[in-house]
Amino acid sequence: MGKILMKGNEAIGEAAIRAGCLNYFAYPITPQSEVAEYLSRRMPEVGGVFLQGESEVAVSYMLFGASACGARVFTTSSSPGISLMSEGISYIAGAQCPAVFVNIMRGGPGLGGILPSQADYFQATKGGGHGDYRLLVMAPASVQEAVEMVMLAFPLAEKYRNPVMLLGDGLIGQMMEPVEFPDHLKSEPTNKDEWATNGMDTRGSNKRNLVKTLFLDAGKLNEHNLMLKAKYDRMKREEIRYELYNIESDYKALIVSYGTMSRVCKTAIDNMKDEGLEVGMVRPQTLFPFPENAVYEAASKESCKVVVSIEMSMGQMVEDVERCVKGKLPVKWYGKCGGDVPTPEEVVEAVKSFL
């Protein structure tokens, strides 16, 4: 059997194993607890590490410690849990350790609800934790894409020595789709002897390694931050990923949407096409770095009159869309938050109202 039917949450767990990551630390939270449940059965089968930590705070540091000694690590959580992990994420980014975090977003603020949401866009792309750091953020729109992004996340985290975050909504975690695990995405272990605290004997040298984030000297901290910035700038040059939909048509409106929301938008775009109304879409697959040029170019089309950011949040990505459109066109927002995923009909109605 080639394909297998999996829940997004299970597929994410399996994808990490297939990518060559056998170390998972986590704390249960709906709607992603199936990842932990799945891996509590699977990790022993493959000789990996599964540990349920006492809190998301602790989990983020288990990742930090393990990553800092050279292991490939990942965790999964949902919005309130990611808030707690944000402290550790800041340290991991500051110490330049690779790690993969998956956020299966639920509604907020506070406990919010357990239904799908995209309200952690700011948290993922603009911070969450303290200090000048960025995460490489990818947003899958299908279970298969979640698999591929998880498998891609490990080499990217190692390439940049930086945490990578997968931002999925509750639907991605909960829905079932057939998936395949592409063999070519399996990562080989990378040599971390230069920096990892894996024991001097492991490296056969007397040079000790130190993983730290403290810089008491202002000049040195500035230098460190400039070096981090250079990495984030390099991500902007090399890691932007996006998908275009119905972009060859003479569209009157351009939708920018990501994750499962973009699938609702695709149905809406198909329906509008049937009615004779052309609408294009840019779907960012990386939220940081954001596909700035793609949005700008798509918004520059002669026929296009309006750009609409459609998201399951109260208008977070719209700020990036506005930034990219650079005032060329009016930028509107449409969204719903609280778990009620907008229907294709509601999207059609919203787009029409802006025209």
The CA distance from 123 to 75, in Å, is 17
- In degrees, rounded to 5, the angle at the alpha carbon of residue 85 between the alpha carbons of residues 65 and 44 is 55
Residue closest to 155 by CA, chosen among 239, 91, 93, 82 = 239
Rounded to 5 degrees, what are φ and ψ at 148? -65, -35
Choice between 94 and 155, CB closer to another protein = 94
CB of 141 to another protein, least distance (A): 10
Between 87 and 319, name the residue whose CB sits nearer to another protein. 87
Nearer to another protein, 214 or 327 (CB): 214
Based on the number of CB atoms within 10 Å of its own CB, is 117 exposed (0-12), middle (13-18) or buried (19 or more)? buried
Longest dimension (CA), the chain: 72
Nearer to another protein, 249 or 267 (CB): 267
Q: Which is nearer to another protein, 178 or 330 (CB)?
A: 178
Question: Given the complex with another protein, which of 34 and 120 has the nearer CB atom?
Answer: 34
Scan for tokens 């778990």, then name that residue: 339
Nearest to 117 by CA among 172, 160, 180: 172
The minimum distance between CB 229 and another protein, in angstroms, equals 22
The residue among 8 and 291 lying less far from another protein, judged by its C-beta, is: 8
Question: How far is Cα 354 from Cα 331, in angstroms, rounded to an integer?
Answer: 9
Please name the residue that has the structure tokens 């022993």. Answer: 44
Task: Compute the least distance from the CB of residue 282 to another protein, in Å.
Answer: 18
Residue 116's DSSP bridge partners are 106
Shortest distance in whole angstroms from residue 296 CB to another protein: 27
Residue 38 CB, nearest approach to another protein (Å): 8
Nearer to another protein, 140 or 342 (CB): 342
Minimum separation from the CB atom of position 325 to another protein (A): 26
Backbone angles phi, psi at 94, to 5 degrees: -65, -35
* Shortest distance (Å) from residue 33 CB to another protein: 9
The stretches of 119-166 forming alpha helices (DSSP H) are: 121-126, 143-160
The helix (run of H) or strand (run of E) holding residue 232 is helix 218-238
CA dist list (Å): 73 to 59, 70, 151: 11, 9, 12
Cβ 59 to another protein, closest distance in Å?
A: 8
CA angle 233, 141, 75 (to 5 degrees): 70
Question: What's the angle, vertex CA 326, arms to CA 320 and CA 330, rounded to 5?
Answer: 85
Residue 149: left (phi > 0), alpha (psi -120 to 50), or beta?
Answer: alpha
* Shortest distance (Å) from residue 253 CB to another protein: 18
Residue 57 or 240 having the CB closest to another protein: 57
* Residue with the two structure tokens 């700011």: 122
